Amino acid sequence: MPDDRKVTLRVGFADQLRDIEVQLPAGEPKPWDARSELQVIGKPHPRVEAPLKVSGAAKYTHDIVPTNALWAAVLRSPHPCAVVEAIDVEPARAQPGVSAALALVKPGERVIFAGQDVAAVAAKTPEQAEAALRAIAVTYKPEPFVVDTAAAMQDGAPQVHRGKVQERSTEGDEPGAGGSAGQRGNVRTTPSMKKGDAHKGLRMAKVSHEATYTTQVHTHSALETHSIVVQWDGPKQATVWCSTQGIFSVRDEFAEVFELKPADVRVHTDFLGGGFGAKFGASAPGSRMGFIAGELARKAGAPVRLLLDRKEEHLCTGNRPDSRQRVKLGAGADGKLTAIHVQAHGTAGIGTGAGVGRNAFGIYSRCPNILVESHDVFTHGGPATAMRAPGHPQGAFALELALDELAAKLKLDPLDLRLQHDEHPVRRHQFELGRKQFGWDAGRKQAAALRTRQTRVRRGFGVAASIWGDFGRGKAVVATVSVARDGSVEVKNGLQDIGGGITTVVAQVVAEVLQRPVEAVRVRLGDSELGPSVGSGGSVTTASVTPAVRAAAEAVKTQLTALAAKQLGRKPEELTWSEGQVRAGTKAIAWAELCKKIEGEAVVATGTRPDTYGAYPVKFMGGSSYQIAGVQFAEVRVDTWTGVVAVERVLAIHDCGKVMNPLTARSQVQGGVILGTSYALTEQRIMDRVRGVMLNPNLESYKIAGVRDVPREIDVVFTPVDTGANNTGAIGIGEPSTIPTAAAIACAVHDALGVAVRDLPLTPDRVLAALGAVPTRGAS
Amino acid sequence: MSDRAGITRRGLFRGIGTAGLIAGCKPGERPPTTTEEHGDAAGPGHGEAAFGPGPAPVSFTLNGEARTLEVAPHVTLLAALREQLRFTGTKVVCDRGACGACTVLIDGVARNSCMTLAHDVAGATVATVEGLASGGKLSVLQQAFIRHDALQCGFCTSGMLMSCQGLLERSRGQQLAREDVEAAIAGNLCRCGTYPNVVAAVLDAAKGSA
Question: Strands, E, within A176-279: which ranges?
Answer: 183-184, 187-195, 207-215, 227-234, 237-242, 265-268
Smallest CA-to-CA distance from A463 within A132, A743, A91, A749 is with A743
10 Å CB burial of residue A78 (0-12, 13-18, 19+) is: middle
pLDDT number for residue A580:
84
pLDDT per position as a tens digit, A479-498: 999 999 999 999 999 999 99
Interval A188-211 mean pLDDT: 97
pLDDT per position as a tens digit, A293-339: 999 999 999 999 999 999 999 999 999 999 999 999 999 999 999 99
User: Taking 80 as the threshold, does the pLDDT of residue B209 lie above it?
Assistant: no
Interval A623-639 mean pLDDT: 94
Tell me the shortest Cα–Cα distance from B127 to chain A, in angstroms.
12
User: Taking 90 as the threshold, does the pLDDT of residue A423 lie above it?
Assistant: yes
Region of residue B64 (left: phi > 0; alpha: psi -120 to 50; beta: else): left
DSSP structural state of residue B54:
S
Residue A684 · residue A745 · CB < 8 Å: no
pLDDT number for residue A2:
53
Question: CB B149 to CB A62 under 8 A?
Answer: no
pLDDT number for residue B1:
37
Backbone φ and ψ of A419, nearest 5°: -60, -30
Please, what is the Cα angle at A681 between A373 and B180, to 5 degrees? 150
Mutation choice for B interface testing from A707, A708, A733, A737 by most B CBs within 10 A? A707
Smallest CA-to-CA distance from B210 within B148, B149, B140 is with B140
User: Taking 50 as the threshold, does the pLDDT of residue B125 lie above it?
Assistant: yes
Chain B contacts of A69, Cβ < 8 Å?
A: none
Q: Is the dihedral of CA B71, B73, B75, B80 positive or negative?
A: positive
Smallest CA-to-CA distance from A216 within A84, A120, A323, A305 is with A323
User: Taking 70 as the threshold, does the pLDDT of residue A646 lie above it?
Assistant: yes
User: Taking 50 as the threshold, does the pLDDT of residue A422 lie above it?
Assistant: yes
Chain B contacts of A57, Cβ < 8 Å?
A: 89, 130
For the whole model, what pTM was predicted?
0.94
Smallest CA-to-CA distance from A136 within A154, A151, A117, A150 is with A117
- Band of residue B37 on the pLDDT scale cut at 50, 70, 90: very low
Q: Nearest by CB to A55, which of B130, B147, B181? A: B130
Q: Nearest by CB to B94, which of A62, A222, A698? A: A698
pLDDT per position as a tens digit, B164-182: 999 999 998 789 999 999 9
Report chain B's mean pLDDT, rounded to a whole number.
Answer: 83
pLDDT number for residue A3:
63
Residue A751 · residue A444 · CB < 8 Å: yes
Q: Which residue of A has its CA nearest to B140?
A: A54
DSSP structural state of residue B27:
T
Residue A277 · residue A387 · CB < 8 Å: yes
Rg (CA), chain A: 28
- Band of residue B42 on the pLDDT scale cut at 50, 70, 90: very low
Residue A348 · residue A188 · CB < 8 Å: no
pLDDT number for residue B13:
43
Tell me the shortest Cα–Cα distance from B5 to chain A, in angstroms.
23
Q: Which residue of B has its CA nearest to A45?
A: B147
User: Taking 50 as the threshold, does the pLDDT of residue B35 lie above it?
Assistant: no
Region of residue A203 (left: phi > 0; alpha: psi -120 to 50; beta: else): alpha
Helices and strands, counts by H and E, chain B = 6, 5
Q: CA-CA distance, A584 to A571, in Å (whole number)?
A: 9
Q: Nearest by CB to B152, which of A671, A698, A714? A: A671
Report chain A's mean pLDDT, rounded to a whole number.
Answer: 96
Q: CA-CA distance, A540 to A593, in Å (whole number)?
A: 39
Tell me the shortest Cα–Cα distance from A328 to chain B, in angstroms.
35
3-state helix vs strand vs coil in chain B, percent to 5: 40, 15, 45
pLDDT number for residue A765:
97
Chain A contacts of B101, Cβ < 8 Å?
A: 223
Backbone φ and ψ of B124, nearest 5°: -90, 170
Interfacial B residues in 109-128 facing A (CB < 8 Å): 128
Chain B contacts of A700, Cβ < 8 Å?
A: 94, 96, 98
User: Taking 50 as the threshold, does the pLDDT of residue A741 lie above it?
Assistant: yes
Q: Please, which residues have CB within 8 angstroms of residue A646's CB and are 6 or more apart in sequence?
A: A636, A637, A638, A712
User: Taking 50 as the threshold, does the pLDDT of residue B23 lie above it?
Assistant: no
Question: CB B88 to CB A63 under 8 A?
Answer: yes
Q: CA-CA distance, A248 to A515, in Å (whole number)?
A: 31
Q: CA-CA distance, A326 to A331, in Å (whole number)?
A: 17
- Band of residue A242 on the pLDDT scale cut at 50, 70, 90: very high
Tell me the shortest Cα–Cα distance from B149 to chain A, in angstroms.
7
Given strand A576-578, what is the order of strands in its sheet?
A576-578, A581-584, A587-590
Q: Nearest by CB to B99, which of A501, A674, A699? A: A699
pLDDT number for residue B15:
40
Question: CB A499 to CB B192 under 8 A?
Answer: yes
pLDDT number for residue A95:
97
Chain A contacts of B94, Cβ < 8 Å?
A: 310, 698-700
- The amino acid at residue B2 is S
Question: Which ipTM was obtained for this model?
Answer: 0.97
Question: CB B154 to CB A58 under 8 A?
Answer: yes
Q: Mind listing the domains of chain A with CATH numbers?
A: 64-145+221-316 (3.30.365.10), 424-471+617-770 (3.30.365.10), 473-607 (3.30.365.10)
Question: CB B151 to CB A501 under 8 A?
Answer: no
B42 touching A, CB under 8 A?
Answer: no
Q: CA-CA distance, A285 to A719, in Å (whole number)?
A: 36
Distances (CA, A) of A532 to A497, A545, A691, B158: 14, 10, 46, 32
Chain A contacts of B152, Cβ < 8 Å?
A: 274, 499-501, 667-668, 671
Q: CA-CA distance, A380 to A693, in Å (whole number)?
A: 9
Question: CB A223 to CB B82 under 8 A?
Answer: no
User: Taking 70 as the threshold, does the pLDDT of residue B30 lie above it?
Assistant: no
Reduced 3-state DSSP string for A325-366: EEEEEEECCCCCEEEEEEEEEECECCECCCCCCCHHHHCCCC
Question: CB B192 to CB A671 under 8 A?
Answer: yes
pLDDT number for residue A624:
80
Interval A569-584 mean pLDDT: 92
- Which of A412 and A615 is assigned the larger pLDDT? A412
pLDDT per position as a tens digit, A355-401: 999 999 999 999 999 999 999 999 999 999 999 999 999 999 999 99
Which CATH superfamily includes the segment(s) B140-209? [2Fe-2S]-binding domain (1.10.150.120)
Interval A744-749 mean pLDDT: 98
Residues found in chain B: 210
pLDDT number for residue A103:
98
B182 touching A, CB under 8 A?
Answer: yes
Q: Please, which residues have CB within 8 angstroms of residue A460's CB and are 6 or more apart in sequence?
A: A447, A635, A636, A638, A747, A748, A749, A750, A751, A752, A753
User: Taking 60 as the threshold, does the pLDDT of residue A272 lie above it?
Assistant: yes
Residue A246 · residue A537 · CB < 8 Å: yes
* Other beta carbons less than 10 A from residue B174's beta carbon: 9
DSSP structural state of residue A518:
G
Question: CB B195 to CB A60 under 8 A?
Answer: no
Q: Nearest by CB to B95, which of A276, A310, A666? A: A310
User: Taking 60 as the threshold, does the pLDDT of residue A655 lie above it?
Assistant: yes
Domain locations in chain B as residue ranges: 140-209
Chain B contacts of A224, Cβ < 8 Å?
A: 91, 93, 153, 155
Mutation choice for B interface testing from A55, A241, A668 by most B CBs within 10 A? A55
Interfacial B residues in 83-102 facing A (CB < 8 Å): 83, 86-96, 98-99, 101
Q: Nearest by CB to A223, which of B129, B155, B161? A: B155
pLDDT number for residue A118:
98
Three-class SS state of A306: strand
Question: CB A710 to CB B186 under 8 A?
Answer: no
Reduced 3-state DSSP string for A88-119: ECHHHHCCCCEEEEEECCCCCCEECCCCCEEE
Tell me the shortest Cα–Cα distance from B35 to chain A, in angstroms.
31
